[in-house]
Amino acid sequence: MSEYICPHCGNPIYDDDALLCMYCGESLKRDVGVFGKIKYTKPKIIIMTVVGLIVLSFVLLVIF
């Protein structure tokens, strides 16, 4: 379960499926919240995935 920060009131939302903020009732705008999610919730996982892909492609480049 990931934490999502409401763009309106700044409170953390712990429900992944929630479309409305439980504090202020505003829409969480999940459709445009992808970048917000990357920014606020899982920066380490994104960076690790990118680094992993770079390392993997480098290893493949060395092998072939």
Binding footprint of Zn ion on the chain (CB under 5 A):
6, 8-9, 21, 23-24
The residue (of 14 and 58) whose beta carbon lies closer to Zn ion is: 14
Is the CB of 19 or the CB of 45 nearer to Zn ion? 19
User: What is the C-alpha separation between 22 and 20, in angstroms, rounded?
Assistant: 6
Minimum Å distance from CB 52 to Zn ion? 34
Count of C-beta atoms within a 10 Å radius of residue 4: 21
At closest approach, how far in Å is the CB of 45 from Zn ion?
A: 24
